[in-house]
Amino acid sequence: MHIITKAIVSNTEMIKNYKACRQKAEGNGKIFVFKNNQPDSVLFSIAEYERISVFIEYAEHLEEKDIAKFTESLRIEKIGKSTTTDNDEMI
């Protein structure tokens, strides 16, 4: 999992500043909420959710063997490639 540091908020920040966190999610597509310095949850903008929900619904109808093949092809494709598209730090 790749997490861009500018898209991280603490659990406390999420509780105290939900509106600002929601706006940050809209700008980034999603934010990662950390609790005790560990990823705890993700808040998606509605636009990002609608974009990925198409894939989720499609995947729900695939058989396990097809999912395994697809996952393996992604893993092989990813080896040796960088997924960073800008200068954001990823953890």
Q: Where are the domains of the chain?
A: 1-44, 46-81
Residues of the chain with pLDDT under 50: none
What pLDDT was estimated at residue 43? 96
Choices 2.40.320, 3.30.70, 3.30.450, 3.40.1620: CATH for 1-44:
3.40.1620
Cβ count near 39 (within 10 Å): 13
What pLDDT was estimated at residue 70? 82
3-state secondary structure of 57: helix
Nearest to 28 by CA among 14, 43, 50: 43
What pLDDT was estimated at residue 87? 54
Question: Rounded to two decimals, what is the model's pTM?
Answer: 0.67
Radius of gyration (C-alpha) of the chain in whole angstroms: 16
